[in-house]
Structure 1
């Protein structure tokens, strides 16, 4: 629900509630007013009939004295008005006594009017004594009408007095109920207004707090949750998406900076080991040719291997190579180590040719092989074995270096694996590359992306197996 819809619903609800309270109070007042008006109209009608009777009697007396046409016309008009008023008398009532009194009052009016007609008729017959006597009857009837009028007024007042008391109590209750409804209406309006304002201001306040934390460089802040579907909810979800994108971008930037820093450090270490490389290469070539001339073929081959190993180690470390290049370099390295260990160690390979085009960071296999020599089989007098296995398992290339040497304890194994999430330590002194295995693990993660790429299986006295698993697709992307 949008904010506009909420405001519209709030205003409509407020108007409906206020109008409902006003209509309820109006209906209550109207009921009381109608009852009071009915009583007043009846009393006024009785009074009006009594007054009209007096006027008729006066005009009749005036006509009898003057016997003029204007006097008769005035008497006749007033007589017609009295007849109309008589017709307005309502003989229906919830009280039988009151209904009988009204019928009696009406009959008196009829008798009064008939008596007036008789007086006029007698006057036309010039029977003066007779119409004088009849006029007296008219006066008596008018007196009875006055008395009955007062009696009816008293009855009306007596009849409506309990009702009037009830109306007062009812009015008091209605006023209290109206005030209660008004209070409830106002309370609902206040609650609804607080809810509406809170649903708008609270999420905005949360967004402001998060924005302040981000402006201070704290990107680890928990973004606000979007529980509504209005504009604030859309803004919150967009803010969360922007924060996630910013965090992801910052992580990628940090990874790139870390990768560049690591590569530069490795290049510096490699440069430190370069002591006039051209002179050194030329010297090794001279030694190789001299050994060949003197018939020392093994010495010549060893010199060539050292020259190739040195040349490979001095290439740019941030340039990827193929797994084939790494295997050839590992074989050169093993040839040099075999000149040292001779028959004490055997190097076995099980290589799937279809996996050798995998791009891989330079100097990945040699530090692992060197670690196997130094920490695994160096103390063995005979039977040492190192095996390099490369195979494809679907979209994954598996590279494993296994030895049957001294192995390692669980603490050492865990410490090596933790290098996948942190910077690598420097290699121990005496290693030819200057690159530790932890550094290799970290470079693999930077090259292929985050993930557990390296696993180590080891047990003291039973050897160590280091396994690298790289999805072929991620390897292509890392290139």
Structure 2
């Protein structure tokens, strides 16, 4: 449950509880007050009837006996007041327990009003008759006062147990009200503590976790809250953030370790180049010395080896043209011809218009080396290696052909698909190989031309082998970087 829902539910609930307690106390007090008001209204009504009847007799005495005409308006006013009180008692008569006494009381009031009206309307009566009628009305007035007091005593007697019940109920109500107030107060404190602990507790633990993390303790985690509120979501998000930071730190450490290893490898590479450069300079010195001593073939062979070494050192990581590859292949074959002499012939068929084609460095020489080692090396005579380069529209055709031992269909298929496997170990490597096998060449051509090349091998046992490349036209500009090969 979210914090918003908790506040929306429990705070109005507390307000409703307080309102219920207040309404209960108010309603109970109102019932007591209404009962007390009814009792007092009846008692006051009886008293008012006795007082009005006395006032009527007083002004009736002035008007009838003392013949004071000016007292008539007051007499009339009190008579009207008495009649109004009689109507009120008549309405009250339906809701009282002592109905017979009230009915007799009302009848006496009617008799008194009739007597009063007779005295007021029969002025032609003699004095003796008026005096008798006056005495009767006065006697009725005394009866009204006596019966009114009796009714007051009856009402008080009737309401005494009720009053005691009211007082007891009032005490119980007050006691219940106190209990309810304390209960609501305790509930308010409990709910407030629960709400505050459900909000401040996780936040406090989250703050402690943040302080631990600020001290470098990255293995610390925020408490897992499954309450479904905003604090729980915050804790889960905080833990996800910690996991992401740890992952980033691990990746950063790995990246730094990789950078360190790369620098070490670069240093080792630079150190490893010391010996090839020393060998390159030594070969140049040997070539010049052989030339000075008149050994021209030895000088030419040494120069070829030196150029081969220079090519491998300077251009292995950059694209080159087919022209450079052909020159490099010629140097390599010159060295091999010095070894095999007349046993091997190397022929070329080159289209000059295709020699500006860009290719990865060391594309031709490993194929020629593979053909030499696996194809024609064991032939005593008549061994032939042919390099053919031609331009065909939007593609450049390269063929390297030998008339050697050849291979079966299984070996041919395996060689064609060898570049999809690891190329760190060259296919059919032998001692004396450069280590850059056919699979390596195929893989680099595929990456260099983004899969736009076509590679095919034609071979049969004893029928020689032809390796054919069809490459998309891609010219090489010496002043422009073609990318890393």
Q: Identify the TM-score tier after normalising by the shorter chain.
A: 0.5 to 0.7
1:91 partnered with 2:93: yes
Aligned counterparts of 2:217 and 2:121: Cα–Cα separation in 1: 117
Shift of residue 189, structure 1, vs aligned partner = 2.1
Cα–Cα, structure 1 residues 202 and 268, in superposed 2: closer, same or farther, change >3 Å? same
CA contact under 8 A between 1:3 and 1:230: conserved in structure 2?
yes
Aligned counterparts of 2:119 and 2:277: Cα–Cα separation in 1: 162
Shift of residue 174, structure 1, vs aligned partner = 1.3
Q: Please list the CA deviations of residues 112-143 of structure 1 after superposition, one character each: whole Å capped at 9, or x if unmatched.
A: 11122333455x12321122122222222112
> Which sections of structure 1, spanning at least 5 residues, go unmatched?
294-299, 317-321, 336-347, 367-388, 391-478
Shift of residue 68, structure 1, vs aligned partner = 2.9
User: 2:339 maps to what in 1?
Assistant: none
Shift of residue 282, structure 1, vs aligned partner = 6.5
User: 1:465 maps to what in 2?
Assistant: none
Aligned counterparts of 2:20 and 2:279: Cα–Cα separation in 1: 103
User: 1:12 maps to what in 2?
Assistant: 12
Question: Where do 1:393-472 residues align within 5 Å?
Answer: none
User: 1:164 maps to what in 2?
Assistant: 163
User: 1:449 maps to what in 2?
Assistant: none
1:115 partnered with 2:115: yes
What secondary structure is seen at the aligned counterpart in 2 of 1:222? coil
User: 1:353 maps to what in 2?
Assistant: 417
Aligned counterparts of 2:246 and 2:6: Cα–Cα separation in 1: 34
Question: Where do 1:309-348 residues align within 5 Å?
Answer: none
How many residue pairs are counted as aligned between the two chains?
Answer: 342
CA contact under 8 A between 1:223 and 1:243: conserved in structure 2?
no
User: 1:218 maps to what in 2?
Assistant: 217
Shift of residue 64, structure 1, vs aligned partner = 2.1
Shift of residue 14, structure 1, vs aligned partner = 3.3
Report the structure number with the largest CA radius of gyration: 2
Q: TM-score, normalised by structure 2?
A: 0.58
Q: Please list the CA deviations of residues 354-410 of structure 1 after superposition, one character each: whole Å capped at 9, or x if unmatched.
A: 644x7x7xxx956xxxxxxxxxxxxxxxxxxxxxx99xxxxxxxxxxxxxxxxxxxx
Cα–Cα, structure 1 residues 219 and 118, in superposed 2: closer, same or farther, change >3 Å? same
1:61 partnered with 2:61: yes
CA contact under 8 A between 1:112 and 1:141: conserved in structure 2?
yes
Question: Where do 1:285-324 residues align within 5 Å?
Answer: none
1:200 partnered with 2:182: no
CA contact under 8 A between 2:203 and 2:231: conserved in structure 1?
yes
CA contact under 8 A between 2:209 and 2:222: conserved in structure 1?
yes
Aligned counterparts of 1:190 and 1:355: Cα–Cα separation in 2: 77
Shift of residue 235, structure 1, vs aligned partner = 4.1
Q: Please list the CA deviations of residues 393-447 of structure 1 after superposition, one character each: whole Å capped at 9, or x if unmatched.
A: xxxxxxxxxxxxxxxxxxxxxxxxxxxxxxxxxxxxxxxxxxxxxxxxxxxxxxx
Two-structure CA RMSD over aligned residues (Å):
4.8
Aligned counterparts of 1:64 and 1:92: Cα–Cα separation in 2: 36
User: 2:247 maps to what in 1?
Assistant: 248
What secondary structure is seen at the aligned counterpart in 2 of 1:88? helix
> Which sections of structure 2, spanning at least 5 residues, go unmatched?
296-300, 318-359, 374-410, 426-438, 441-484
Aligned counterparts of 2:415 and 2:100: Cα–Cα separation in 1: 127
Shift of residue 182, structure 1, vs aligned partner = 1.8
Aligned counterparts of 2:110 and 2:419: Cα–Cα separation in 1: 130
Aligned counterparts of 1:351 and 1:66: Cα–Cα separation in 2: 156
What secondary structure is seen at the aligned counterpart in 2 of 1:244? helix
Q: TM-score, normalised by structure 1?
A: 0.58
Shift of residue 42, structure 1, vs aligned partner = 0.2
User: 2:322 maps to what in 1?
Assistant: none
Shift of residue 228, structure 1, vs aligned partner = 5.3
User: 1:151 maps to what in 2?
Assistant: 150
